[in-house]
Amino acid sequence: MFKYIQAKSLISKTKNPAGWFGNEFNMNIYRGCTHGCIYCDSRSKCYHVENFDEIHVKENALKIIEKELASKKYTGVVGTGAMSDPYNVCEKKLMLTRGALKLLDKFKFGVGICTKGIMVKRDKDILSKISAHSPVTICMTITAANDAVSKVIEPNAPLSSARFEAVRELNEAGIYTGILMMPLLMDITDSPANINGLIDRAHETNVPFIYPAFGLSMRDGNREYLYKNLDEKFPGLRVKYQQCYGSSYICNIPEAKSRKNLFMKKCNAAGIKYGMGEIIEGAQQRVKNKQTSFWGN
Chain segment 255-283, per-residue pLDDT in tens = 999 999 999 999 999 999 999 999 999 99
**184 with 210: CB under 8 angstroms?**
no
- Mean pLDDT across the stretch 58-78? 95
What is the rounded distance in angstroms from the CA atom of residue 85 to the CA atom of residue 138?
A: 12
Q: Give pLDDT tens digits for 151-186.
A: 999 999 999 999 999 999 999 999 999 999 999 999
CA dist 287 and 291 (Å) reads 6
Would you state the pLDDT for residue 19?
A: 78
pLDDT range class, residue 209, cuts 50, 70, 90: very high
Cis peptide bond prior to 183, omega within 30° of 0: yes
Q: What is the mean pLDDT of residues 246-256?
A: 96
**Would you say 160 and 142 are in contact if contact means Cβ atoms under 8 Å apart?**
yes
Q: What is the predicted pLDDT for the residue at 47?
A: 84
Report pLDDT for 155.
96
Distance CA(21)–CA(178), nearest Å, equals: 11
Residue 72 clears pLDDT 80, i.e. is over it? yes
pLDDT of residue 269: 97
CA distance 139 to 211: 9
DSSP codes, 41-98: GGGSGGG--SSTTSEEEETTHHHHHHHHHHH-SS--EEEE-SSS-TTSTTHHHH-HHH
Which tops the pLDDT comparison, 189 or 53?
A: 189
Mean pLDDT across the stretch 42-56? 88
Q: Please tell us whether the domain made up of 2-280 is placed in CATH 3.40.50.280.
A: no
How many Å apart are CA 153 and CA 188, to the nearest integer?
9
Residue 290's pLDDT band, with cuts at 50, 70 and 90, is confident
What percent of the chain lies above the pLDDT cut of 90?
Answer: 86
Per domain, the residue ranges of the chain are 2-280
Q: What pLDDT was estimated at residue 296? A: 53
For residue 297, pLDDT over 60 is answered with no
Residue of 9, 7, 129, 137 whose CA lies nearest to 69: 9
Give the mean model confidence (pLDDT) for residues 120-136. 97
Q: What is the pTM of this model?
A: 0.94
Q: What is the mean pLDDT of residues 121-137?
A: 97
The overall average pLDDT reported for the chain is: 94
